Structure 1
Amino acid sequence: MTETTEPTRIQVRGLAKSFGDHQVLRGIDFESRRGTSTVLIGPSGSGKTTVLRSLNVLETPDCGVVRIDDVEVDFAKLPPGKAGRKEGARLRAQSGMVFQTHNLFPHRTVLENIIEGPVVAQGRPREEAVADAKVLLDQVGLGDRVDAYPSQLSGGQQQRVGIARALALKPRVVLFDEPTSALDPELVGEVLAVIKDLAATGWTMVIVTHEIRFAEQVADQVLFLDSGVIVEYGTSAQVIGDPQEERTQRFLKRILDPG
């Protein structure tokens, strides 16, 4: 979808998911190139977060294929039991997830929160993880809060720690699930600024957001979802600036011109 010389980093084919009788995804197909930002927009209940959680195997699709670099899972052929969980874990290890709420351990310092994954889950040396964490904290503007506890931070600062924690796993892809939706309005800008910096430095990202102007600035490609399908896709200038589908036009008008 995005014209670039970089190789494909994410490929999604035929992704479908139902919860009971409700079909949330109805055959999602898209690709993301390495070093690009793909932004998912659309009304509540359109399937955006389910797409994101499927990439990270927090949700198991009913069928479809997800590939991140050389790791591919065909969910229709996923074996049962331990073998299936192992395949899912391999795919999950390719990405880092930033949730709507930061979910930090309240009894651990900022530094301890960030090194938990690299040391415990990945088995990396503590000294290496600490050094990397300090670099990441500088990157998100919190280099002076290494020894602070989450209760001593604002919501925006806690979310920036959450971003550093995801990056500490050295993922190939970073997934953001409406990272500013739980923040007070005055704190949104500081988190969006960090994500813009990550986009500028070449991280591959998939972002679900309701911040349309932010999407316009950061996205290499925009997917507009409604009722479990991709209604329209293209560059931000195409989808947000000059949408062709009537459903996209109505959605953007309601968001950008509520009066």
Structure 2
Amino acid sequence: MSPTDPPTDQNLLTVRGLQKSFGANRVLTSIDLTVARGQVLALIGPSGSGKTTVLRCLNGLEVADGGRIEIVGADAAATAIDFDAATAAGKPVPRKALGALRDQSAMVFQHYNLFPHKTVLENVMEGPVIVQRRPRAEVEAEALQLLTRVGLIDKKDSYPFELSGGQQQRVGIVRALALRPALLLFDEPTSALDPELVGDVLRLIKELAAEGWTMVIVTHELEFAREVASEVAFVDGGTIVEHGDPRQMLRNPQHERTRQFLHRLLFPF
């Protein structure tokens, strides 16, 4: 399965001035980013810098307090929310608008978030059948194809507790792909895995990047980001401090705060 190939001369994702607070805690100060169709953006930064909140706002799991998000789907139609306008009007963002935003992306979570009472196949089929209301037979055929691709067809009737962490994460990726999103979002996809299980998941994500999927990935795997990402952005204090080509930026960052972070990550002791 590969993403549909609409016009390539446009950004798939555009974010301007994204803000988010939880009570008195300002998590996102002002996030600006763009991701071209078929490109991969890796977000790096310390814990608490706002990386995961960015993903959750992009997926509509969190409602931003300000700024604007626009995603241009496979049909070249734009889905956009102006959070500043909603705040100025003193009205909540309509659920329909958040739903439209969510329809354009799919999230792969750090801790898998599979339904424990459903089989692998049922987990993969849930969103396309229940939320997207696609024909069950069509969804099942596609789900079986995707599970075969990632080497888990023999686990289709298993439950999450019967799988290893790496297998659960691959199911999580398949579940996201089954939604046919314009944008794939990954939140530290390997951080909960044992070291020997990391490779399979990273190889699968690398394959998806090579196929042209547009992705935003929160990761601490610097070598992976260097190999896979089209661009790396360093997030700190709720804003993007520095961004650029991963081979250049990870080797020779221009901002002192970025240099400090990379040094601490590479030499923790």
Give the TM bin, normalised by the shorter chain: over 0.9
Does residue 51 (structure 1) correspond to residue 54 (structure 2)? The answer is: yes
TM-score by length of 2: 0.91
Does residue 130 (structure 1) correspond to residue 140 (structure 2)? The answer is: yes
Question: Aligned ranges for residues 141-180 of structure 1 at < 5 Å?
Answer: 141-180=151-190
Question: Aligned ranges for residues 9-88 of structure 1 at < 5 Å?
Answer: 9-69=12-72, 70-78=78-86, 80=91, 84-88=94-98
Post-superposition offset of 1:6: 4.1
Q: Distance in 2 between matches of 1:20 and 1:146?
A: 42
Q: Distance in 1 between matches of 2:139 and 2:153?
A: 15
Check whether the contact 1:96–1:171 (CA below 8 A) recurs between aligned residues.
yes
Q: Distance in 1 between matches of 2:39 and 2:148?
A: 23
Secondary structure of the residue that 1:144 maps to in structure 2?
helix
Check whether the contact 1:48–1:225 (CA below 8 A) recurs between aligned residues.
yes
Check whether the contact 1:216–1:236 (CA below 8 A) recurs between aligned residues.
yes
Check whether the contact 1:6–1:35 (CA below 8 A) recurs between aligned residues.
no
Does residue 210 (structure 1) correspond to residue 213 (structure 2)? The answer is: no
Deviation track 1:147-168 (CA, whole Å, cap 9, x = no partner) reads 2221221110011001100110
Deviation track 1:10-41 (CA, whole Å, cap 9, x = no partner) reads 00001111122221111111100011100000
Number of equivalenced pairs: 254
Post-superposition offset of 1:107: 2.3
Does residue 252 (structure 1) correspond to residue 255 (structure 2)? The answer is: no
Q: Is there any run of 5+ residues in structure 2 with no aligned partner, and where?
A: 1-7, 73-77
Q: Distance in 1 between matches of 2:101 and 2:188?
A: 22
Q: Distance in 2 between matches of 1:103 and 1:158?
A: 9
1:220 aligns to what?
230
Q: Is there any run of 5+ residues in structure 1 with no aligned partner, and where?
A: none
Cα RMSD for the two superposed structures: 1.4
Q: Distance in 2 between matches of 1:245 and 1:140?
A: 39
Q: Distance in 1 between matches of 2:10 and 2:71?
A: 11
TM-score by length of 1: 0.94
Deviation track 1:72-114 (CA, whole Å, cap 9, x = no partner) reads 0001223735x71111111111000001111212222211110
Deviation track 1:150-202 (CA, whole Å, cap 9, x = no partner) reads 12211100110011001101000000011111112221111111111111111
2:108 aligns to what?
98
Q: Distance in 2 between matches of 1:103 and 1:258?
A: 30
1:116 aligns to what?
126
Q: CA 1:155–1:30 in 2, change beyond 3 Å: closer, same or farther?
A: same
Percentage identity across aligned positions?
Answer: 59
